[in-house]
Structure 1
């Protein structure tokens, strides 16, 4: 089988397309013939040894996949060869065959494409965990979403709308504002790209505050970090919840006196650890996401597809922070 693998720490250009033996499933495992693998920011980090997970090399990146079960390990029940499934292995997805624990293979409903299935869990599960568990979202609340045209951002817009919130999207360009608006954002703020000085930070905080209809936002979902974090935190309302999701713009240093003055919460969102620690709650969220998908309230936006041999180009494109929606590598 073919696999796009990392042999040394480095950027997407270091990945090589290798011919390797297909893995065999052990007891309680299944092998998936991968049809599609979505690309996410952790794929860029993991090949540079910058992610919290550091697999032994060589390994293939690719943290979420869809495909067809093509072999069962001993003792597996509830799944059959030929079943359509999705899974979040963390890595290994940029390969034609992948072995996962049978409990991690989730049946993919008929009518949902492999590309859409591969694009669902990491972004939408992160967003639903953030908004419901950490943000305690409620009807009529106001939500500010940073990086709103990315995978997590678009998922958060759709989910917040489904839960009856007013959503303001923060993006870095007019094109991204259009994408966020098409996803259902009620208003958009366009922030400048690059570093912000003190004046720029204050001006952006003013933009965010002006976009809130009341005294500030109830929830801010931040998958961006960097210089955008402090201006966003300043726009949080009384007893608001600031949700820390990721740092493609850098790890910020927040003035915690703002949290005190607003009696606010700054909450981390580590969906992967949550899913491992509370699989029952995770399973319930997956069911809810499939229900919302069936009702047409959410729909992963796949904006680009790449063949396996060009998977490194997909990761490189994501690194530019110019991508909207989800990029997917397909095996066919």
Structure 2
């Protein structure tokens, strides 16, 4: 089979495409032929050894995929050869065949394409877990989404809107904010030209936002925290800005607010049933036409380096899909 391999840590240009042996499923394993896999910002970090997950070399990038079950090992009961599935690996999806366990797979309805499903698991799974499980988001609340045009930011705008909330999209350009409005954002903040805290306060009549969704970190985090309402919830999603902020804890005390970590990858391991439930909810919304994941571009496996360079350069609006 063909696989994209990271054989030495470095930029996307250092990745290679090679033929390697087909994997063979053992007891409890499921072999899936990958029809589409998705790339995320953390893929640009993991290939440089700058991410919290540090796989042994060589490995393939891409944490999420969709495809068809090719074979199963002894003891597998929930899926069978021929089933359409979507799944999560952590890394290793950018190849023609992958091995995983059935707990990491969700059956895919016929009406959902492989390309749409491939990009659902990480960004939309993270976001639904953040809003439903961590923030206990309620209809009618106001949500500020930082980095609103990126992968998880897009998902946050869409899901918060579906859940009946008022979304304030925050991003670094008017183009990105126009995209966020097309996804359902009610208000926007361009934090390259507007002060984030003061603008969020102004849009909420001085009360502040109920929930902050922050995949960016850096200097924006403290500004957004200062704009939370009494008993607000600040969701720590990631640090795309590259800097992990140091938050003055007196702000948490004075606002009676919570800072809540969203470690979705670990939540999948610790609560597989909750993960399955969230995935089924996402697929239901897609099937109903309420959720329409925006695909920025679809690349062949041979062009995966170009795709990752686009993500690293912040040129992507939505999901980037690769078809092995």
In 2, distance between residues paired with 1:186 and 1:213? 15
Cα drift, residue 51 of structure 1: 1.8
Answer yes or no: is the 8 Å Cα contact 1:305–1:329 preserved in 2: yes
In 1, distance between residues paired with 2:238 and 2:205? 26
Cα drift, residue 136 of structure 1: 1.3
In 2, distance between residues paired with 1:300 and 1:133? 21
Mapping 1:153-232, distance limit 5 Å: 153-192=153-192, 203-213=195-205, 215-232=207-224
Is the counterpart of residue 43 in structure 1 residue 35 in structure 2? Answer: no
Cα drift, residue 211 of structure 1: 2.3
SS at match of 1:226: coil
Is the counterpart of residue 330 in structure 1 residue 323 in structure 2? Answer: yes
SS at match of 2:59: coil
List runs of 5+ in structure 1 lacking aligned partners.
194-199
Cα drift, residue 103 of structure 1: 2.5
Q: Which runs of 4+ in 1 moved over 6 A?
A: none
Q: Which moved more, 1:24-33 or 1:283-292?
A: 283-292
In 2, distance between residues paired with 1:117 and 1:140? 28
SS at match of 1:143: strand
Change (3 A) 1:289 1:214: farther
Answer yes or no: is the 8 Å Cα contact 1:30–1:69 preserved in 2: yes
In 1, distance between residues paired with 2:290 and 2:182? 13
Mapping 1:289-328, distance limit 5 Å: 289-328=282-321
Give the structure 1 partner of residue 63 of structure 2.
63
Is the counterpart of residue 241 in structure 1 residue 236 in structure 2? Answer: no
Give the structure 2 partner of residue 197 of structure 1.
none
Cα drift, residue 212 of structure 1: 2.3
In 2, distance between residues paired with 1:322 and 1:262? 36
Is the counterpart of residue 126 in structure 1 residue 126 in structure 2? Answer: yes
Give me the TM-score of the superposition, normalised by structure 1.
0.94
Cα drift, residue 213 of structure 1: 4.2
Answer yes or no: is the 8 Å Cα contact 1:243–1:266 preserved in 2: yes
C-alpha distance after superposition, 1:278-331 (max 9, x if no partner) = 112112111211222222221211111111011111111111123110001112
Is the counterpart of residue 284 in structure 1 residue 292 in structure 2? Answer: no
Cα drift, residue 214 of structure 1: 5.1
Q: Which moved more, 1:240-249 or 1:124-133?
A: 124-133
Cα drift, residue 49 of structure 1: 1.3
Give the structure 1 partner of residue 262 of structure 2.
269
In 2, distance between residues paired with 1:15 and 1:227? 32
Give RMSD over aligned pairs: 1.3
Give the structure 1 partner of residue 104 of structure 2.
104
Q: How many residues align?
A: 323
Answer yes or no: is the 8 Å Cα contact 2:111–2:287 preserved in 1: no
SS at match of 2:82: coil
SS at match of 1:303: strand
SS at match of 1:192: coil
Give the structure 1 partner of residue 52 of structure 2.
52
Give the structure 2 partner of residue 196 of structure 1.
none
In 2, distance between residues paired with 1:27 and 1:127? 33
In 1, distance between residues paired with 2:47 and 2:233? 32
SS at match of 2:219: helix
Q: Which moved more, 1:297-306 or 1:69-78?
A: 69-78
Answer yes or no: is the 8 Å Cα contact 1:155–1:298 preserved in 2: no
Give me the TM-score of the superposition, normalised by structure 2.
0.96
In 1, distance between residues paired with 2:79 and 2:162? 32
In 2, distance between residues paired with 1:251 and 1:125? 23
Q: Which moved more, 1:39-48 or 1:111-120?
A: 39-48
C-alpha distance after superposition, 1:8-53 (max 9, x if no partner) = 1111111111111111111111111111111012211211112222
